[in-house]
A and B are shown apart, each in its own frame.
Chain A
């Protein structure tokens, strides 16, 4: 592979005082995470109580659990006492009670009922498959919040958005916010999260940051150098060979928020040693000299996620073509064989 000259510059980058305006206020929403967590917990503990389910499933426009949507399976309580003989009217009546304000059913151009629904399904590699649907908000910017991670996505022409996200907590709690102010949450059990070391780097705007992992002493271009261009795979992790990196979030919206997440299996085949992690960025015409807002996420042994918000300025435009390398912002993974 072709390696650009690298600027080993942790902080030789010049930096003035700067403000983040709307960027920052968006990132701030994540600081209220304990609140979401408690909501998640109550949902988790009382998932047989219909009231609590409704509380969580109800979006701001109140349509989540209502209507005749064919895919309400996740949202509606399974132990609903209604007899199965009259499913549609029964549910309609209940939704009307719960939401009160909506009298006539708004429909999308495709004839689907409006309203946000979110569902999550755990998958291999301590990941969650996120299915977001709001037929009346196609081509819209969606904010996805999880455990200190904020991502943007974009719904398609049908108002559908799917995304696979490596998670940082079990159960994994997701909140999805739409441009019209509605939001919805969903929770998934991720039983294999304990099997991974996991770190994340999230950034705002088009900054093209990269997470690089050097497994067991690998150097640039070695098989053990894992980054977006040589990302490894879930299979590689599941088999204990090594880690994988994934980029999540969509840049195809205003004020995008993206992240790269690196996962490494705790049980490796035979190696013992160190995985070094660096944050790098090619200095380009678009990002040179730009103030950058990012955050690091590190999953600790006790299941806690350590989140630090970062601000720095990328090198000036005379350095276009160079690489910015930030060491020591993420701690090395110290892998011990059992």
Chain B
């Protein structure tokens, strides 16, 4: 009996292993420590789990973590282009801006440990583990809690999203869960000596399905086409299958030569005048990008500005998916760092496109107006065009352009990120004293009247979303208006899903 009570006493003592007392002594809590993120204690108390700011309390007891020597730790896993190309440089820049130095330890199985050391006393401030696998594996590891953050080249598909919900990992489509790190795009590549000037998405799909096998079928020389792709298991190739092949009900043929590295792919293509590959905007190596041409004649080049505005139909942002739980402070700082100008510079240097907002005078967009004239006819009248031209006069277009999932008012991930960026700029006062006009456009499917209403509705929805996101901004200093022009200013052909997605948009004009 005596032994038992001693045992119970011991249990009790270890269960109450911390005591948190407020600085003025008025509040006292005791319980078991569940976690500490460098900023907040999480304890299991008699009131249930509680989160307590460490700055406001004094911790006593054996369970108290070491405040001074706390080491933040986080695991990232997923797409190699992010894990191996983007992250090391960003971590170095992030560390440098905080007076930390980086030590990278290369571990087995494509894993690296980046240790961030404090300069003054050589102590460890954070451990970032980064594993280069695939988008699939990263998202799966997020479900299995084998990683804290998944690095992805495509959004989770329905199966993955459902699995996440089932695994109690929350809704992966939520804004708070995803971040757009940088912009990139899928891009057809050929050797500099290859004469082809543009390709339609359908031609591209048929080449990679093995239906078009000779350059002669595309108006070129009589020579077989050598086809190059990234590994079938890569997020890149899955994105190709979903966005280039699936709209034409085609599948990737297995005759393609597969590569593990996007620059290897580009250089293999560059060496063979009869080769074609689908590479990435950021990794064109020594190959030549081929613009996309719609059946109606629009030609789309992948450029930094057409990626920022998603005017290029195969824009493919680099994504990061976060866990539901709170991350250590140093890690959250790192996430915020992605929105900084320092990070934007690194992103640009590495060949990716950053999300910094740029402007372009609408006057320089004569080509777009020409498109509008071409598209005018039965449903778009001269009056409509005159309205459009009047509205465009003297305005600039921001690179920020919002695009919608087909048949919905739901914004795609890049657009969600763009709303947040625009809101931060408004809060910063970047547009004080000026007019921001949200201008909606639709694709050409359905009646012109319905499309006009739809485009205005979407513009208003975006305006409200920006106002909601700019909660710290002074909205008296900037005027936010919404308008719409329906199908009046197409940028791509309406004959493909990708083209319609490009046309269905809300632009932001600045006056």
Contact = CB atoms under 8 A, between A and B. Distances in A.
Given A31-B119, A274-B286, A310-B106, 11 more contacts: A12-B109, A12-B110, A15-B106, A31-B117, A32-B119, A273-B286, A306-B92, A309-B103, A311-B103, A327-B261, A328-B85
Interface string B350-390: 11000000000000000000000000000000000000000
A154 to B, nearest CB: 28
B104 A306 contact: no
A41 interface: no
Interface string B278-290: 0000001110000
B116 to A, nearest CB: 11
Contacts of B105: 15, 310-312
A10 B108 contact: no
Contact of B286 (A12, A15, A217, A302): A217
Interface string A6-36: 0000111111000000000000100110100
Interface stretch (B13-21, B68-76, B198-206, B263-271): B263-271
Interface of B: 84-85, 88-89, 92-93, 96, 101-112, 117, 119, 122, 132, 261, 263, 266-267, 270-271, 284-286, 345, 349-351
A15 B88 contact: no
16 contacts: A28-B122, A31-B119, A217-B270, A217-B285, A274-B266, A276-B263, A302-B345, A306-B93, A308-B92, A308-B102, A309-B103, A309-B104, A310-B104, A310-B106, A311-B106, A332-B263
A78 B285 CA distance: 52
A31 B267 CA distance: 37
Contacts of B106: 10-11, 13, 15, 310-312, 326
Contacts of A13: 106, 108
Contacts of A328: 84-85, 261
A15 B108 contact: yes
A172 to B, nearest CB: 20
Given A11-B107, A12-B109, A331 B286 contact: no
A308 B270 contact: no
A236 interface: no
Nearest to A11: B110
A216 interface: yes
Contacts of B351: 332, 334
A91 B106 CA distance: 54
Contacts of B349: 300-301, 331
A329 B114 CA distance: 13
Nearest to B192: A273
Contacts of A304: 96
B47 to A, nearest CB: 41
B111 A273 contact: no
Interface in A160-216: 216
Contacts of B350: 331
A310 B104 CA distance: 5
A332 B261 CA distance: 13
B286 A308 contact: no
Contacts of B93: 306
A14 B107 CA distance: 7
Nearest to A271: B286
A8 to B, nearest CB: 9
Nearest to A275: B286
B119 A308 contact: no
Contacts of B92: 306-308
A304 B97 CA distance: 12
B111 A11 contact: yes
A201 B180 CA distance: 32
Interface in A218-260: none
A274 B279 CA distance: 15
B285 A309 contact: no
Nearest to A148: B101
Interface string A289-309: 000000000001110101111
B454 to A, nearest CB: 41
Contacts of A312: 105-106
A134 to B, nearest CB: 30
A317 B111 CA distance: 22
Contact of B101 (A217, A309, A329): A309
Contacts of B261: 327-328
The 10 A-B residue pairs with the shortest CB-CB distance, nearest first, are A217-B286, A312-B106, A273-B286, A328-B84, A309-B103, A311-B105, A274-B285, A11-B110, A217-B267, A217-B270
Contacts of A308: 88, 92, 102-104
A14 B119 contact: no
Contacts of B96: 304, 306
A312 B105 CA distance: 6
B285 A14 contact: no
Given A276-B263, A309-B101, A309-B104, A11 B88 contact: no
Nearest to B271: A217
A331 B107 CA distance: 20
A12 B88 contact: no
A10 B351 CA distance: 22
Interface string A310-338: 11100000000000001111011010000
Contact of B108 (A14, A301, A307): A14
A329 B106 CA distance: 10
A309 B102 contact: yes
Contacts of A10: 84, 106, 110, 132
Nearest to A14: B108
Contacts of A15: 105-108
A31 B96 CA distance: 11
